[in-house]
Structure 1
Amino acid sequence: MSRFNSRADRPPRTTSPVLTTGETTHTAEGGTGYLRDAQSELFLLAVTNLVGQDTFYETAATRDSRYTRLVRALAVLEPAWTAALLRWLRNEANLRTAAIVGAAEFVHARLAHDHQAAMTPGPSAHLGAAPYSNRAVIASVLQRADEPGELVAYWEKRFGHERRDGQYDVRLPLPVKRGIADAVQRLYTERALLKYDTAAVAKRFGDVLELAHPRPAADRHWQGDLFKHALDRRHGRDEPLPDRLAMLRQRQALMTMPVQDRRALLLNAHDRQLLDEAGMTWESLAGWLQGPMDAPAWEAIIPSMGYMALLRNLRNFDEAGVSDQAAAAVCAVLADPEQVARSRQLPLRFLSAYNAAPSLRWGHALEQALTASLANIPHLDGRTLVLVDTSTSMNAGFSRDGSLKRWDAATLFGIALAHRCAAADVVSFSSARYYLSDPPGARTKAFPLQRGESVLRAIGRWRDGGWFLGGGTDTAAALRAEFCGHDRVVIVTDEQASHDHTEVDRSIPQTVPMYTWNLAGYEAGHAPSGRGHRHTFGGLTDHAFRMIPLLETSATGTWPWETESAGA
């Protein structure tokens, strides 16, 4: 009989990056709250922070202030780690605003620290020497052509001086100028100028060029002409277009076409190619036609539309009555795993598109796209208990239009994980208390999985069948009620558990791994994390799920960007 190599043995105690400090406080609902170290708090906040939006327990101003405070502190104390977080946040997590704000605060904090060090007598604590540069941090978070203008506008309002006329005086530090200039060389093209350089934004391409003074890229012989035209355009100078700017010249030619002749161009396949050659987007096409976007208009522009534009216009395609042939072409793009990977869409966007689309013809493609976006969820052996928090605080908005809630995200990730488990019990939970003085008690509702059911259909069944419970968050009581010898527990929650006579951590055996999937990034967590069998993850993608099998095979968990670089 084997004494050591038995299936019943638990894996050795492991560590993961999100660490609690040992200090406790209270959650927003009065339960025991565990404080995390600064890196862990920033990570969980960053991957769930839609800048400028209120959450259930935290106003936008409070939340954004906590975010900038953490970034600024860690820019000085842990600059390499913070630079890597910001780069990953924009490029892999695809959270653009948090990354841009974070990069601006990072560089400003480091420059302020250097200035203070230079003014202080004694040994210098200058931060200039590092394996990366402030310039590189700025460039790393600018990945779309409108983002240099976004960063300039943020820097101006945050660090500039407001004049009496309401405008701002701002001087960009040299590292910021150079980082923006590097990004401009990569991002400024004719198509980008036509799409993003509009009167609707405060900082146009010409403004960025005047502040950052980029040189044209060596391998883009036309870029000097583009920069000059952007400046002419910004200042209203009526200069002729250079010959090398062929796309802009084609757009100019289309704009001179009589309005009454424009729809005829949509009927000929050869003529429709002119739209792409002129960098026409669906938004600009609508303005050019000066009339409704009917089926011929959509069918003319669909071949040149990007992935996100297709995804967000499914309802418009249906309402305009585009043909099944055109719809099939859209579905082929949406379902292509390579296109999904390149688009870097968050899984929630596919759920949002599915909810918004009136017809059923998009459903299979969206399910395939969602499956591809969740490819990192591992297959888990044994029995898994998946607890999905559907308390009232999880009903907070999770998209700018309010169409998605935090509990939509919790349901999506909970069901998707359960589909990859050898055996899983999925349970919605909240609280059975009616008054605050009532004793702890959980309200739970088991969700029966159906073999072969798609994730999107399962989410619809969850919504329509009353699994969004509302009320408080009796997490500990739910664990005691639903745990029955499972091999692991995964809790998808905002962690704001109510007071209980037994803590969340102690409500199941200490030898059973408990993984918390945090969807809110509040300061206090509901259990210890980072050591033994208690670990916390976070974010809006499937990447962190990869940590579960690593930890269960004795590996040490790492930050997502470290995992990716190690596997590259």
Structure 2
Amino acid sequence: MRFNFFSRNRAPTTVNHEGAPAFTLTPQVELYAAVATAALSDLFYEKADTRLQRLRELVAKNEPLFVAQLAVYARESLHLRSVPLVLCVELARLHRGDSLLSRLVARVVQRPDEITELLAYYAQANGRGGTKILNRVSKQLQKGLALSFNRFDGYQLAKYDRAGAVRLRDALFVVHPKARDAAQQALFDQLVRGELPTPYTWETELSAVGQQAFASEAERQAAVRTTWETLIASGKLGYMALLRNLRNILEANVSAAAMERVCDTLADRFAVARSKQLPFRFLAAYREVKAVQSGLVAGVLAALETAIAHSAVNLRGFGPDTRVVVACDVSSSMQQPISARSKVLLYDVSLMLGMLLQSRCQHVTTGMFGNTWKRISLPRGPVLRNVEEFYRREGEVGYSTNGYLVVRDLRERREVVDKVMIFTDVQLWNSTGDGGTLAQEWAEYRRTVAPGARLYLFDLAGHGTAPLEVRPETGVALIAGWSDKVFDVLQALDNGGSALTEIEKIEL
């Protein structure tokens, strides 16, 4: 199925959050963009509750199969956790009559705590406090959760049996999974009685050290150092845990041999592939490590550069015959954390994805825009270092959103390029008062300079509008998300598909 992104009306159909002319998206594309960029926390232009309500309304406007495919895509390709659960619950409220929901839930729920998170949202979405509403959970939802329960072992159940509005014990009573054998029934019985053995995790090991009494601060520090070294040597410290604790490990003054093992793990291409980390996680770790005063920091920074290079190894770039422009939005609205618990900004995601793409292209112009558009020449290769260079210089262009200047610059130079990639929250507007718009500049550029050029809007916020028509006839495409998987869409677009082609391939 192919989706026509917009109506045939070539005039703007709405305005964006800045009051600038904009075009509405179809329900399919708007839901895709909202889901791919959903942290379910407050954004510059949209509060979390508003985004959640818009998601619910969009689910009701779309076909159930598309909603289910999108939920799987968000979980398996974009590695998002909460928003696929929201889609499952909203689908349960609207869809009946077949096994689509149970198959979806069984596929989306990949950790035990996602069972409890799903049920907690189910109770909230159905307008009741506590867990009373869980006595009337959708049968297909129950069936899907039962299948999920059967996949988890004792270690997983114990690790994710956490305090919350819904506990795993509550979920067990609601779902009533049939144990696959006597050993699993024994685990379920232990879960009910609260007798699951405490799992061996880095959290429990460090917590045990924290509860001990020491004669001196030096003894405490020695115990923490030994614990980290033991965890590193055990090989049981997961990749994400390692990435998030690099600063703690360095500040614990672990041995050079232990840090060498950490760096080897970070830079291992198989470990990187298995970890499925979003690109900005490497950037967050890079910044934390740079702040540490240690002679071992340089090796860790190098390992992180190697890791991000491995993560992008399958990223489809472009050869010397394809002329590419990569433009990053550094406006005020992009200076917003992607979630309440993160230090990573939408601006960081823009730079990260932009530099990943730059690293895979052989004929590429890179730059950033705010009040003005500025080209910045950087070496191809060191992705994280290049992001930091952009970050250091972002004040040089100001903080408006004059994205049209990227294309005006090309037109005035009479410079022919094949692809213009703009990483932005798509809330473009003109602060100069000269009346120029991206739609006008793009139409004129294609008419007078490069008729075959393509413009790709990488939507990092999913607010539901675009600054120009997104149709094959206009040479414009919209792609949404924070993962390097967004680049998979480029091949589909070049082959005549849409941004939804990868989603439509999913079988349930």
Does the C-alpha gap of structure 1 residues 498 and 562 become closer, same or farther in structure 2, counting only changes over 3 Å?
A: closer
Q: Which residue number in structure 2 is paired with residue 447 of structure 1?
A: 376
Amino acid at match of 2:333: S
Map 1:79-478 → 2, pairs under 5 A: 79-111=64-96, 128-129=97-98, 132-159=99-126, 161-162=128-129, 168-170=132-134, 171-187=136-152, 189-198=153-162, 200-218=163-181, 221-233=182-194, 248=197, 279-289=199-209, 290-291=211-212, 294-302=224-232, 303-357=235-289, 358=292, 359-380=297-318, 381-431=321-371, 443-451=372-380, 453-466=381-394, 469-478=397-406
Amino acid at match of 2:225: A
The answer to whether the 8 Å contact 1:376/1:542 transfers is no
Q: Which runs of 5+ in 2 are unaligned?
A: 213-219
Q: Deviations over 1:9-32 (max 9, x none)?
A: xxxxxx986823346111222322
Q: Rg larger in 1 or in 2?
A: 1
Residue 296 of structure 1 and its aligned partner are, at CA, apart by 0.6
The answer to whether the 8 Å contact 2:131/2:166 transfers is no
Q: Which residue number in structure 2 is paired with residue 479 of structure 1?
A: 407
Q: Aligned equivalents of 1:185 and 1:501: distance in 2?
A: 61
Q: Aligned equivalents of 1:16 and 1:428: distance in 2?
A: 33
Q: Which residue number in structure 2 is paired with residue 37 of structure 1?
A: 26
Amino acid at match of 1:21: S
Q: Aligned equivalents of 1:167 and 1:565: distance in 2?
A: 33
Q: Aligned equivalents of 1:342 and 1:21: distance in 2?
A: 42
Residue 545 of structure 1 and its aligned partner are, at CA, apart by 1.8
Does the C-alpha gap of structure 1 residues 549 and 54 become closer, same or farther in structure 2, counting only changes over 3 Å?
A: same
Amino acid at match of 1:288: A
Residue 524 of structure 1 and its aligned partner are, at CA, apart by 1.0
The answer to whether the 8 Å contact 1:18/1:36 transfers is no
The answer to whether the 8 Å contact 1:18/1:536 transfers is no
Q: Which residue number in structure 2 is paired with residue 55 of structure 1?
A: 43
Does the C-alpha gap of structure 1 residues 294 and 230 become closer, same or farther in structure 2, counting only changes over 3 Å?
A: same
Is 1:529 aligned to 2:470, yes or no?
yes
Q: In angstroms, what is the RMSD of aligned CA positions? A: 2.3
Q: TM-score, normalised by structure 2?
A: 0.86
Q: Secondary structure at the match of 2:363?
A: strand
Residue 109 of structure 1 and its aligned partner are, at CA, apart by 1.7
Is 1:516 aligned to 2:501, yes or no?
no
Amino acid at match of 2:366: V
Q: Which residue number in structure 2 is paired with residue 434 of structure 1?
A: none
Does the C-alpha gap of structure 1 residues 34 and 160 become closer, same or farther in structure 2, counting only changes over 3 Å?
A: closer
Q: Deviations over 1:463-502 (max 9, x none)?
A: 2234574422112233202452222211111111114634
Q: Aligned equivalents of 2:334 and 2:340: distance in 1?
A: 16
Q: Aligned equivalents of 1:18 and 1:95: distance in 2?
A: 27
Q: Aligned equivalents of 1:59 and 1:286: distance in 2?
A: 36
Is 1:504 aligned to 2:438, yes or no?
yes
Is 1:559 aligned to 2:504, yes or no?
no
Q: Aligned equivalents of 2:255 and 2:366: distance in 1?
A: 40
Q: Aligned equivalents of 2:458 and 2:336: distance in 1?
A: 17
Amino acid at match of 1:61: D
Q: Secondary structure at the match of 2:373?
A: strand
The answer to whether the 8 Å contact 2:477/2:499 transfers is no
Q: Aligned equivalents of 2:119 and 2:401: distance in 1?
A: 42
The answer to whether the 8 Å contact 1:160/1:168 transfers is no
Q: Aligned equivalents of 1:215 and 1:174: distance in 2?
A: 15
Amino acid at match of 1:151: L
Q: Aligned equivalents of 1:528 and 1:89: distance in 2?
A: 25
The answer to whether the 8 Å contact 1:181/1:214 transfers is yes
Q: TM-score, normalised by structure 1?
A: 0.78
The answer to whether the 8 Å contact 1:17/1:530 transfers is no
The answer to whether the 8 Å contact 2:402/2:428 transfers is yes
Residue 108 of structure 1 and its aligned partner are, at CA, apart by 1.2
The answer to whether the 8 Å contact 1:22/1:34 transfers is no
Q: Deviations over 1:52-106 (max 9, x none)?
A: x1111111111111012112332xxx11111111011112211100111111111
Q: What's the % identity of the aligned pairs? A: 30
